[in-house]
Amino acid sequence: MVRDPLDLRRYAKTEDGDDLTQALVEEIIEKCLGFEVEQRSLVIGYWSCSYHSYQELCQEEKILYKLISGLHSSISIHIAFDYLLDEATNLWGQNLTLMYDRVLRYPDHVRNLYFTFLFVLRAVTKLLYNPKLQAACPIPFDEANLWKGQSGPELKQKIQQQFRNISALMDCVGCEKC
């Protein structure tokens, strides 16, 4: 099973049935991300609609999950690559322990990083239309099988909205928060 980076699902229900997810998400938003009150509804909306076990997700949602995980891994690697090692001397450098702890120790994070790389590479090869380049680029998933079935159009709209929410969320979080 793919790990949930924050693993908030384990806190979702208490013995008396109270839902703790909302409280935990609000605490994370306030303490970790520093969002203003008006930005919180966007984050809570994304969080509440994205919590399912990986096995319950359809193929399109699994692709979204892998892309988000790969993006998170990429950001973590970039942070570890140029890290403030000593604040007193303003010494910057590579923090390999951080990179290992956040990404490399989890094979699924590395696989999702590779998947995201292939996804972007595939998009570039389609945009440039170079048959030689397209032949050399591995295909990360079968695009022909996406958005099929009765719920295909609704699912496509749902995932497009999730991408918009994620984009808006990332616009709200400055680099200094990382």
Catalytic residues: 175, 178
Question: Token digits for 143?
Answer: 């695009």
Show the CA angle centred on residue 171, arms to residues 170 and 177, nearest 5°: 65
Q: Tell which residue, 149, 135, 159, has the closest CA to residue 67.
A: 159
Using CB atoms within 10 A of its CB, is residue 120 exposed (0-12), middle (13-18) or buried (19+)?
A: middle
Give, rounded to a whole angstrom, the gap between the first and last alpha carbons of the chain.
26
Query: How many other C-beta atoms are found inside a 10 Å radius of the C-beta of residue 80?
Result: 20
Query: How many other C-beta atoms are found inside a 10 Å radius of the C-beta of residue 102?
Result: 19
Q: Which amino acid belongs to residue 87?
A: E
